[in-house]
Each structure stands twice: as structure tokens, then as C-alpha cells.
Amino acid sequence: MADLVAHGVAHRDEHGSAGAHSQNLRHHFDNMSQQFEAGNLGMWVFLATEVLFFGGLFASYTVYRALYLPGFEIGSHLLDVRFGAANTAVLIGSSLSMALAIRAAQTGRRNAQVFLLVLTMILGAAFLGIKFSFEWRNDYLEHLIPGVNFLYRPEWGANAPHVQLFFCFYFIMTSLHAIHMIIGIGLLSVLTWMAARGRFSPDYYTPLEVSGLYWHFVDIVWIFLFPLLYLIGGRYGIGGGH
């Protein structure tokens, strides 16, 4: 039995680097590199689950868009492209500030970390503000919220049920996305507090890195939601809107 393993190698150590004796090293890991890689891989695996989670919605959307394109076009034209495009730019900006915040940790600049994390949160909040106070409020006033006050319009003709179906997707998909944004902003507020306390350094910034991955993922979801919801069927006039 004793020949199965060679009891010679003790707990692996890395002297000299910010390795085994860093106060941030969890005891079940051998060194910081292993811990960072584990955290990174863990977040990527989680993001794979998120791809499938949103993916169920995208798959359903694909089915119905293929079946009911005219109704979906009508619905899409009732969305305001300007808000959609502006929100896309806002989120892209927040991804930039998030990436720069991580870079600030990698280069040991604490004030820049805090500033950039706060900026990311502000941009995220701006996205939500535009969505809730402008877009959804307009949709409510225009009776376009299924299950709440959706009204069919005569000019939709036989496509009317499918317009409602489109708006089911619009609200479900953007709500789910918004929930993820809110969770992200919550994460960022914790990170900002940690960054302000000086918790991150070139040797340890794993929470920033993995939260950044999450934030960028939420951005990618919107990168697809924008054309799929707002840009169906082309717009042959200016602005769109109602």
C-alpha cells in the first residue's frame, strides 16, 4: 500500500515570488498562480452557464422571428433606435472603464482603480436610467407592455398577436439583462470599497478580474440584443420611434 505514493514532496512552496505566503492565499491552494487560474476558470465556466441561460431566450426568439417576421418587424419599429444605440455606447464605455480599472490594479494605482470602478457603476446606472425612465416609460404610455396594458392597433392587422409576442421577448430579455446589470453594479460597489481599502495589487486582483469577466459578458449580451430587438427588418426613415 505504501508504494502507491511517494511521501517526499511537502506542500509546494514558491519563495521569492508573492507565492505561498501571501496573506491572500487560501489554504487549500498551493500558490497564488493556481488560485488565480482557478478563479478565472471558475468564472469562465459560470459564464458558459450564462450563455446557455440567455441562450434559451435567444433560441426561442430565433424560432418565432423565423415564423413571424412581419409581426416582429412591426414591433421592432416601435422601439426607439436612438435610445438603443445610445445605451449600446454607454455599455461599451463601461466595459472600457472596467478593463482600465483592472489595468490600474495591475499597475498598482489605487486612486485610478476607485475612479474607474465608480465610473463603470455610473455608466451602468445610466444604462438602466435610460432604459427604465425613457424606453419603458414610453412603452407603458403607448400600451405596449404585455400582461399589463398591451393594446392591439388596427394597422397591425393579422400580425397583432405576433407584435405582442415580440414585446414579450423585448421585455423578458431586457428585464433579465437589467437584473444582471443590477447584480453587476452591486458587485462593483463591493469592489470599489475593497479597492479604496487598498486590497488589490499587482499580485492580487482576482476579484476584479473575474468581476470584469462578468461585466463584459453582460455587455456582450446587449451587443446582440441591440440588433436583434431594435434593428429588425431595416428602418427606411429617420429615427424610428412611434
Partner 1 sequence: MSTAVTEIPQESRVHYLNVSYGVKSWLLTVDHKRIALLYLVSITFMFLVGGVAAVLMRIHLIEPAGALVQPETYNKLFSAHGIIMVFFFLVPSIPATLGNFLVPLMIGAKDLAFPKLNLLSWYIYIVGALFTLYAVISGGVDTGWTFYTPYSSTYSHSAVIPVAIGVFITGFSSILTGLNFIVTIHKMRAPGLTWFRLPLFIWSIYATSVIFILGTPVLAITIFLLGVERLFHVGIFDPAVGGDPLLFQHLFWFYSHPAVYIMILPGMGVVSELIAAFSRKRIYGYTMVAYSSFAIAIISFLVWGHHMFVTGQSIYAGLIFSVLSFLVAIPSAIKVFNWTATLYKGSISYEAPMLYALGFIGLFTMGGLTGLFLAALATDVHLSGTYFIVAHFHYIMVGGAVMAYMGGLHYWWPKISGRMYPDMWARVAAVIIFVGFNLTFFPQFMLGYLGMPRRYAVYPPEFQVFNVMSSAGASILGIGYLIPLVYFIWSMRYGPIAPANPWGAKGLEWTVPSPPPTENFEETPVVTEEAYDYAPIPEGQHG
Partner 2 sequence: MSSHVVPLKVYIGVFLALLFLTGLTTWVAFIDLGSFNTVVALAIATVKMLLVILFFMHVRSSSGLTRVVVAAGFFWLALLIAFTLSDELTRKWSPIPSSWGPGTSQSQPQ
**Which range binds partner 2 by CB under 8 A, 7-15, 88-96, 146-154, 168-176?**
88-96
**Position 119 contacts partner 2 (CB under 8 A):** no
Q: Find how far residue 182's CA is from the centre of its chain.
A: 9
Angstrom distance (rounded) from CA 135 to CA 227: 16
Q: Which of 19, 70, 233, 241 touches partner 2 (CB under 8 A)?
A: 233
Phi, psi angle pair for 201, to nearest 5°: -155, 170
**Position 190 contacts partner 1 (CB under 8 A):** no
Chosen from partner 2, partner 1, none, partner binding at 108 (C-beta under 5 to 8 Å by type): none
Q: Which of 13, 59, 141, 149 touches partner 1 (CB under 8 A)?
A: 59
**Position 227 contacts partner 1 (CB under 8 A):** no
Q: Which of 59, 141, 151, 183 touches partner 2 (CB under 8 A)?
A: 59
| Touching partner 2, residues 205-224 (CB under 8 A) | 205, 209, 212-213, 216-217, 219-220, 223-224
Cβ 109 to partner 1, closest distance in Å? 29
Using alpha carbons, select from 41, 48, 91, 103 the residue that is nearest to residue 216: 91
Angstrom distance (rounded) from CA 59 to CA 68: 14
**Position 235 contacts partner 2 (CB under 8 A):** yes
Chosen from partner 2, partner 1, none, partner binding at 115 (C-beta under 5 to 8 Å by type): none
Q: Which residue bears the cell 415564423? A: 67
For the chain, give the number of residues: 242
Binding mask 4-43 for partner 2 (x = CB under 8 A): ----------------------------xx--xx--xx--
Burial 144-182 (b: 16+ CB within 10 A, else e): bbbeeebeeeeebeebbebbbbbbbbbbebbeebbebbe
Cβ 119 to partner 1, closest distance in Å? 30
Q: Which of 12, 13, 26, 89 touches partner 2 (CB under 8 A)?
A: 89
Angstrom distance (rounded) from CA 229 to CA 223: 11
**Position 186 contacts partner 2 (CB under 8 A):** no
Cell numbers standing for residue 142: 403607448
